[in-house]
Amino acid sequence: AQSVSQHNHHVILSEAASLELGCNYSYGGTVNLFWYVQYPGQHLQLLLKYFSGDPLVKGIKGFEAEFIKSKFSFNLRKPSVQWSDTAEYFCAVTIDAGGTSYGKLTFGQGTILTVHP
Amino acid sequence: GAVVSQHPSRVICKSGTSVKIECRSLDFQATTMFWYRQFPKQSLMLMATSNEGSKATYEQGVEKDKFLINHASLTLSTLTVTSAHPEDSSFYICSARAGTGVQPQHFGDGTRLSIL
């Protein structure tokens, strides 16, 4: 079965600092990759996704992620964080089984990002 | 955007009580709905997948007689925790997806269940 690992449980940054959150998955086949964000008191929201094509994907609010197949990684980046980016971030994968998969998400443990003004 | 409403947001009840949680897709038809459970400081763990009009598919280790899932319409799925005990206390989250295949899921706000 596939698994997802996020390296950092809690990251603390000051505003304007650059962000990179690590995500690695274990599965040898084709995967679809997601980053979700959960702001305090809110539901999970999709930040960005990778299905195929350009391995560098851009999402909402200035976030981007790069899929490196050889490293089984899908790290999330933002060049300059804001206080409003304080949230919990989840990496997730689904296995692409030729369209027959119902797209069950396997989540990482989550990374809490705290941005100080 | 796609909105998923989950109700109630918080439940506190006595051991032995059965608790029903509703998950509704407000502005789209949800062919598939998912139920997750999240323990403190841990990831969301998928409990079951339900397709409208079909029996739910449970993940390994999830008791189907304990966690009853009904997906009777394209906009509503319910999770009933039967005879709940303190170890069932957790955060339960539903998500819904339109269509089949690999599509993003839209999440509800979650239900905090506390069993005394």
Q: What is the pLDDT of residues A81-108, one digit of tens each?
A: 999 999 999 999 988 655 444 578 899 9
Query: A51, B42: Cβ pair inside 8 Å?
Result: no
Given a cut of 60, whether residue A116 has pLDDT beyond it is: yes
Given a cut of 70, whether residue B102 has pLDDT beyond it is: no
CA of A95: which chain B residue's CA is closest?
A: B102
The whole-number pLDDT of residue A97 equals 58
List residues of chain B with CB under 8 Å from any CB of chain A. 4, 32, 34, 41-46, 49, 51, 93, 95, 97, 100-105, 107-110
Q: Assign 3-state DSSP to chain A and report helix, strand, coil percentages, each to 5.
A: 10, 50, 40
Q: How many CB atoms lie within 10 A of CB A67?
A: 21
Query: B44, A107: Cβ pair inside 8 Å?
Result: yes
Quick one: pLDDT band at residue B115, thresholds 50, 70, 90?
very high
Q: Which two tokens stand for residue A29?
A: 């086949």
The whole-number pLDDT of residue B105 equals 86
Quick one: pLDDT band at residue A29, thresholds 50, 70, 90?
confident
Name residues whose C-beta falls within 8 Å of residue A97's C-beta, 6 or more positions apart in sequence.
none
Q: Mean pLDDT of all residues in chain A?
A: 91
Given a cut of 60, whether residue B32 has pLDDT beyond it is: yes
- Nearest Cα to Cα of residue A85 among A22, A34, A40, A49: A40
The whole-number pLDDT of residue B101 equals 63
CA distances from A16 to A22, A73, A97, B46 (A): 19, 25, 40, 36
A9 touches chain B (CB under 8 A): yes
Q: What angle do CA B46, A44, A61 make, to 5 degrees?
A: 140
- Nearest Cα to Cα of residue B86 among B3, B4, B12: B12
Query: A104, B95: Cβ pair inside 8 Å?
Result: no
Quick one: average pLDDT of A56-69? 96
Q: Collect all residues of chain B within an 8 Å Cβ-Cβ radius of residue A36.
A: 107
Cis, bond preceding A79 (omega within 30 deg of 0): no
The proportion of chain B whose per-residue pLDDT surpasses 90, expressed as a percent, equals: 72
Given a cut of 80, whether residue A49 has pLDDT beyond it is: yes
Spatial distance between the Cα atoms of A55 and A65, rounded to a whole number of angstroms:
8
Q: Collect all residues of chain A within an 8 Å Cβ-Cβ radius of residue B34.
A: 104-105
